[in-house]
Amino acid sequence: MQGWVAPLDEVPDPVFSDRMLGDGVAIDPTDSAMHAPCDGVVASAAAHAVTIRTSEGAEILIHVGLETVALGGRGLVPHVREGEAVRAGDLLISFDLDFIATHAKSLISPVILINGDAFEITRTNLNREAARGDFLMEIRRRNGALTAESLSQKRVQREASVGFAHGLHARPAALIANAAKGFRASLSISFGGRAANAKSVTALMSLGVRQGDRVIVSAEGEDADAAAERVSDLLRTAAGEPATPRPAAHVEPVLIPATSPNEIRGICASPGVAVGPIHHLRTAEMEVDEAGKGISAETEALTRAVVAVRSRLAGSAEKGSRAQRDILHAHIALIEDTELRRTALVQIEAGKSAGYAWRAALRETISALEQLDDHLMRERAKDILDLERQVLAALSPDATAAQDVPAGSLLIAENVLPSQLVALGAKLVGICTASGGPMSHVAIIATGMGIPALVGAGEAVLASVEGSMAILNADAGVLLLNPEEHARADARARIESHRKLRQASLARAHEDCRTADGVRIAVFANLQSGAAEATAAIEQGAEGCGLLRTEFLFVDRAAPPPEDEQAAEYESILRALDGWPLTIRTLDIGGDKPVSFLPMPREDNPALGLRGVRVSLAWPDILRTQLAAIVRAGRSGPCRILLPMITSLSEIRAVRAQLKDIHGGESVHLGAMIETPAAAMIASEIAQETDFLSIGSNDLTQYTLAMDRTNPHVSAQADALHPAVLRLIAATAAGAGEKPVCVCGGLAADLLGAPILIGLGVRELSVPPSTIPILKSVIRAISTQQAQALARESSRQPSAEAVRELARQALSGVLP
Ligand code: PEP
Ligand code: MG
């Protein structure tokens, strides 16, 4: 452009002078033509502005005047189209100088380098009159290299196999992007023929990288070496990956039958039962105007909205549980994503409104994620949709006044967004969504809020009638639509009597538990956090801990906990148990339970791969440290060791050999979990080499029925009362001989299941602490003879449903 070249600071518009779009120069034109300043391809073309992308990737925006978008093309004649190749000097836009001067805010025309994170302006020619073709500015890739030789020295590539358990989903992508931002070097990650800016969360997510995939990390710049090293290291070790909370599906108990044709099946994402009127959450697409009201106004509006949402997210993160905090921090990283912002700003600059621009930027990422063959990534696309809505709501609060949800509603939706759940939670008795999975963020938040939730219920649930009544039995994976009045009353009565029975059973919670004919049943607690949980369990009447899931000590950290730390933790739990015994299960990771510091390979069938004791034997140092810590803790209270996922005697022998090497290790009791059909079938041999057995009915059901407990398509049918599972439990109890047999899976807490277990010969149950009082009450009301008769009949039933029906009848006078 012919004219006076001025610094950007002189442009009377903060969008440009504050460099919101990037650095550059401005030209006060004295001629009426804008020409290409370099060779390249037209990345975007509007009547008033053009962006050119050079072959090296630099993006330069040339903008005729200020607020010229409002002219709607008047006085402007574009000469190029998007995608067209141009040479330096080609005519891009011609314009009517006088018309622009009198109708736009200013004639001064910014020339901006948009992707300043990858390129930098090294020289400009300011404060002088320039003719077309004169030198304007020099742009260079951000690497600090001045010569081709040094450039090649500063370009570094590393290969890394990705260790993050679920690939580069939002939280790992945020971790990588944050680390990458700490370097001056430009960083990219290439996978599957595509490259993504490593400083952008959304770009990383859309690569669709999964655990075990090999990616190339490329860095260019002064600190390229350190940058490539750090990022590839993070990718490999997955250090800092937040814990993946366990799905709630393992929490039982099942209380209410649902056999009506109006029943819809789904997967339990948060346990419990609820009755209430259906309220559909209509997340209709929010309306946004396409046309903006000027670059300055729209950029400011977007910035304000993003800042507002960010500070709200930060506020909620501070107040929320640890799981909620992890999720909200990932949302904050997404909302701050530079690529999203740049894409939005380019749209605004092309004349679009802030809302339209934000939606367009996010939808690009959402559609990339939705294409991926990875259910977790598709779940995360919903998180981005959530951010879209939150920012749009902040942009036009009037249009999105909080939906009026009547208190006591049973919420039905295609999907509930995390922010909606946080906002509406207090008014809901339950949630049922058509899509979503048990690993979704909503599942985690609902569990934390104690709201029963069913997910993956399918489209049918969306056809339910607003205001009509329904019974949600999340434990049984069923939503019953339009139940008869008596069924509703029945469900309410059951919920109420369950509440009352719970209340009443608290009075005798601390007494020994004996069947009606006096047979002693030990009731332990399953623990998965620490001493505080143990104290609460004792208050509920626990006679110790039958299963300490030690995974909580190992997740969310860069290295496994050292022996001292573990021993101190076990000792503090022992103190809280106040003399009652503690059963410590060795690390049970793999499958649905990843930890960040182990470079676990990607597996096609993780549930059938490196899991439980297999992991411990593959990383013997971790096992040795844990065994030593348990042996140490055992000196201050009664401790026993439990090994997960046993399938053969050799595994037990390998652990025993390690225990022998630890001073005092031989005297600690060692038990095996019976969680595989193989273990159940050789229970007598296992019993001969161990001190006790503990049946993990959750996994035993998964492996017996070949139904993945984390797969929404089948997990609702994975019922531990299936006769095949019961027969394996019977075989275990028989094989154990005199050795104690405990059941620590969800079946032990199932009020229909526990009596059957007693009938099968089980004398120890380990359950979530809150179910202990009521479980003791139910056991006190039955005799072993009744239980044995029920168990015998149950094993002969054709299905789990039939077993449930039989048990319901047999226990009708006992259960709430
Ligand atoms: C089980 O599988 O039943 C069990 C108790 O172990 P977890 O649920 O921790 O896999
Ligand atoms: Mg298990």
Structure tokens at 244: 């993946």
pLDDT of residue 437: 58
Section 395-403 average pLDDT: 60
List Cβ neighbours of 134 (8 Å cut-off, separation of 6 or more). 125
Q: What does the longest C-alpha to C-alpha distance in the chain come to? A: 104
Task: Give the closest ligand to the alpha carbon of residue 646.
Answer: 2
Q: What is the pLDDT of residue 496?
A: 84
Question: Can you give the pLDDT at residue 341?
Answer: 84
DSSP per residue, 475-518: TTTEEEES--HHHHHHHHHHHHHHHHHHHHHHHTTTS--B-TT-
CA of 625 to the centre of ligand 2 (A): 22
CA distance 585 to 79: 72
Pocket test for ligand 1, best of 642, 699, 721 (most atoms within 8 A of CB): 699
pLDDT of residue 514: 97
Token readout for 338 is 């530079």
- Mean pLDDT for 732-748 is 95
Percent of the chain exceeding pLDDT 70 equals 89
- Of 92-96, 280-284, 463-467, 681-685, highest mean pLDDT: 681-685
Ligand 1 centre and the CA of 699: distance in Å?
6
Query: How far does residue 269's CA lie from ligand 1's centre (Å)?
Result: 16
Q: Residues lining ligand 1, CB < 6 A?
A: 250, 547, 549, 588, 675, 696-699, 744-745
Q: Which of 527, 588, 643 most suits a substitution to test ligand 1, by most atoms within 8 Å of the C-beta?
A: 588
Distance between CA atoms of residues 14 and 326, nearest Å: 35
- Name the residue among 628, 569, 618, 563 with its Cα closest to residue 590: 618
CA dihedral 458, 460, 462, 465 (to 10 degrees): -150
Specify the pLDDT at position 222. 84
Of the residues 38, 545, 639, 744, which is catalytic?
744
| Higher-confidence position of 132 and 797 | 797
Mean pLDDT of 526-545: 91
Report percent pLDDT > 90 for the chain.
41
For residue 695, report the distance from its CA to the centre of ligand 2, in Å.
9
Q: Please list the alpha-helical segments (H only) found in 543-595.
A: 551-554, 563-577
Which tens digits make up the pLDDT trace of 12-30? 887 788 787 789 999 999 9
d(CA 418, CA 440): 9
User: pLDDT tens digits for 145-169?
Assistant: 333 344 445 678 888 889 887 778 7
Task: Please name which of 554, 650, 619 lies closest in space to residue 593, comparing C-alpha atoms.
Answer: 554
pLDDT tens track for 214-229: 899 999 888 889 999 9
Q: Which ligand is nearest to the CA of 695?
A: 1
- d(C-alpha 247, C-alpha 407), whole Å: 27
Residue 306 in contact with residue 335, Cβ under 8 Å?
Answer: yes
- Of 8, 78, 98, nearest to 36 by C-alpha is 78
Q: Look up 744 and say whether it is catalytic.
A: yes
Model confidence band, residue 258 (pLDDT cutoffs 50, 70, 90): very low
pLDDT given at position 551: 86
| pLDDT at residue 512, as a whole number | 93
* Nearest ligand for residue 743 CA: 1
CB atoms within 10 A of CB 674: 33
pLDDT at 251: 31
216, containing H or E segment: strand 214-220
All residues with CB under 5 Å from ion ligand 2: 675, 696, 699
Q: Is the pLDDT of residue 375 over 80?
A: no
- The answer to whether residue 520 scores a pLDDT higher than 90 is yes
Ligand 1 atom 8: residue of nearest CA = 698
Contact 792, 565 (CB under 8 A): no
How is residue 815 written in tokens?
């259960």
Report the range of poorest mean pLDDT among 288-302, 303-317, 429-443.
Answer: 429-443
How many angstroms is it from 578 CA to the middle of ligand 2?
A: 27
**Which residue has its alpha carbon closest to ligand 1 atom 1?**
696
Beta bridge partners of 44: 51
Can you tell me which residue has the tokens 């207090």?
A: 426
Q: Ligand 1, closest atom to CA 250?
A: 8
CA 232 to each of CA 141, 180, 190, 289, 454: distance values in angstroms, whole numbers, following the listed order: 22, 10, 12, 43, 39
User: Is 90 exceeded by the pLDDT of residue 578?
Assistant: yes
Closest C-alpha residue for ligand 1 atom 10:
699
How does pLDDT run across 320-361, given as a tens digit for each residue? Answer: 666 667 777 878 888 888 778 888 888 898 899 999 999 998
Torsion sign across C-alpha atoms 62, 64, 65, 67: negative
Q: Is the pLDDT of residue 440 over 80?
A: no
Nearest protein CA to atom 9 of ligand 1, as residue: 549
432 is catalytic: no
How does residue 300 score in pLDDT terms, banded at 50, 70 and 90?
confident
- Which of 166, 169, 441, 722 is catalytic? The answer is 441
Q: What's the CA-to-centroid distance between 697 and ligand 1, angstroms?
A: 7
